């Protein structure tokens, strides 16, 4: 078994293929949608150099595991080949991920007395191993993976004064950054940072859909991602500008985007909501999404 750092866009494609295969093997239990990989590397960790965060383990069968340390989030992603989950190799991976995340937190002067990890309830081998390693599940902190068959996708007209379209390209980085910042203030978006995302591997402007108001403001947005192996689309992220909420824009946008997914050959769509985001949960239910998988938050103290 050999470990190496992430190199370039070819490695993104490698990891996306690995996860798509693992999803097919496990019926979607315990693995990030391939679109989430690009989103986590280049959007969620926009302040960092990917080779510093991402490690890949390979053997004669190909990718065995990969880890993305996320110091700003005090967390990490760890994806392990299905036949290796719960093994001593998996134990080594989680121990490495802990060390590397804490090391990067200290290097970047990020304070915190614990780290976090999300484990799917259906993957008991991983949950059991985490508990053996001293991780504790957080009570009532359940993330929900919601799913819909695209043949059941709703029809929701766009309200008067608005139109849905795709982002045109990097020339709109400032407008898109402003919409994202209004929806998610803690993300600290700037035009330069969003241009970095738009120029990163995996991004395609035709898959970032926006609602444009009559004055040109981008009032809502979503990014759609495709997994052609499992014929499943992903929404990540979904947001509405603070000045345009409660007008049905996000519902109309999701309905439109599900049509785009179906045209691309997807049969299902998924979207994740956090335990505390009741507005998102209500939106997804109104669009016909049903709870599909549950994900537990685990925490572990950082020993000084």
Q: What confidence score (pLDDT) does residue 34 get? A: 98
**For residue 87, what are its two tokens?**
């093994």
Same domain, 30 and 88: yes
Does pTM top 0.75 for this prediction? Answer: yes
Kindly state whether residue 300 falls inside one of the protein's structural domains.
no
- What is the domain extent for residue 14? 2-134
Please write the tens of the pLDDT for every residue from 22-39: 999 999 999 999 999 999
Do 210 and 279 fall within a single domain?
yes
Kindly report the three-state secondary structure assignment for every residue of 63-75: EEEEEEEEHHHCE
Is residue 149 within 8 Å of residue 292, measured between CB atoms? no
Identify the domain boundary among 111, 134, 157: 134
Query: Taking CA 171 as the corner, what is the angle to CA 169 and CA 175, rounded to the nearest 5 degrees?
Result: 95
Residue 45 belongs to a domain: yes
List, for residues 228-242, the tens digit of each pLDDT value: 999 999 999 999 999
CB burial readout 229-258, b (16+ within 10 A) else e: ebebbbbbbbbbbeebbebbbbbbbbbbbb
Tokens of 267: 């049969």
The domain boundary, picked from 134, 166, 188, lies at 134
pLDDT at 303: 86
My answer on whether 201 and 110 are in the same domain is: no
Residue 235 forms beta bridges with which residues?
A: 224
Residues 6+ apart with CB under 8 A from 78: 65, 66, 67, 93, 94, 97, 117
- 163 shares its domain with 289: yes
Q: Is residue 139 part of a domain?
A: no
User: Please, are residues 270 and 227 in contact by the beta-carbon 8 Å criterion?
Assistant: no
Cα dist from 23 to 30, 80, 82, 284, whole Å = 8, 11, 9, 22
Within a domain: 60: yes
Confidence of residue 58 (pLDDT cuts 50, 70, 90): very high
Give domain status of residue 234, yes or no.
yes
What is the pLDDT at residue 233?
A: 98
- Shared-domain flag, residues 121 and 95: yes
Give domain status of residue 298, yes or no.
no
- 49 inside domain: yes
| DSSP SS3 for 255 | helix
How many structural domains are present in the chain?
2
Q: What is the mean pLDDT of residues 156-180?
A: 97
Domain-ending residue, one of 134, 169, 191 = 134
Same-domain pairing of 82 and 178: no
The CATH code of the domain that includes 61 is 3.40.630.30
**Mean pLDDT of the region 278-304:** 94
Q: Are 73 and 162 in the same domain?
A: no
- Report residue 249 as tokens: 């824009």
CA distance 143 to 141: 7
Query: Do 15 and 110 fall within a single domain?
Result: yes
Residue 248, C-beta contacts closer than 8 angstroms, at least 6 positions apart: 156, 159
State residue 125's pLDDT score. Answer: 96
- Does 175 share its domain with 281? yes
- Distance between CA atoms of 69 and 2, rounded to whole angstroms? 18
Average pLDDT score over residue span 159-184: 98
Q: What are phi and psi of 206, to 5 degrees?
A: -70, -15
Q: Are 6 and 81 contained in the same domain?
A: yes
- The reply to whether 130 and 152 lie within a common domain is no
Q: Which residue has the tokens 């078994």?
A: 1
In this structure, are 175 and 274 located in the same domain?
Answer: yes
Structure-block tokens of residue 79:
């994806």
Check whether 140 has a pLDDT greater than 90: no
In a domain, 90, yes or no: yes
pLDDT, one tens digit per residue, over 249-283 is 999 999 999 999 999 999 999 999 987 888 999 99
């Amino acid at each position: 078994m050999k470990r190496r750092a992430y190199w370039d866009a070819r490695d993104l494609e490698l990891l996306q293929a690995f996860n798509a295969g693992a999803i097919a093997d496990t019926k979607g239990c315990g693995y990030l949608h391939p679109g989430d990989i690009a989103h986590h590397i280049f959007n969620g960790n926009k302040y960092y150099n990917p080779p510093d965060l991402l490690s890949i383990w390979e053997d004669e069968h190909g990718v065995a595991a990969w880890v993305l340390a996320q110091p700003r989030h005090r967390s990490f992603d760890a994806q392990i080949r299905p036949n290796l989950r719960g093994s001593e190799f998996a134990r080594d991976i989680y121990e490495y991920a802990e060390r590397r995340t804490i090391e990067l937190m200290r290097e970047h002067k990020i304070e915190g007395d614990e780290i976090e990890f999300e484990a799917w309830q259906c993957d008991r081998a991983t949950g059991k191993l985490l508990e053996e390693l001293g991780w504790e599940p957080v009570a009532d902190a359940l993330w929900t993976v919601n799913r819909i068959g695209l043949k059941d996708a709703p029809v929701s007209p766009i309200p008067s004064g608005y139109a849905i379209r795709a982002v045109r390209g990097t020339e709109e980085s400032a407008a898109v950054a402003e919409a994202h910042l209004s929806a998610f203030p803690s993300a600290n978006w700037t035009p330069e940072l969003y241009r970095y995302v738009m120029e990163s591997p995996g991004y395609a402007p035709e898959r970032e859909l926006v609602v444009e108001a009559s004055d040109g403001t981008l009032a809502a947005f979503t990014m759609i991602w495709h997994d052609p192996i499992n014929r499943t689309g992903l929404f990540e992220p979904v947001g509405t500008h603070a000045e345009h909420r409660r007008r049905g824009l996000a519902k109309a946008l999701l309905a439109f985007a599900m049509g785009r997914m179906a045209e691309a050959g997807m049969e299902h769509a998924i979207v994740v909501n956090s335990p505390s985001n009741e507005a998102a949960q209500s939106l997804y239910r109104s669009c016909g999404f049903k709870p599909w998988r549950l994900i537990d938050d685990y925490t572990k103290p950082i020993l000084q």
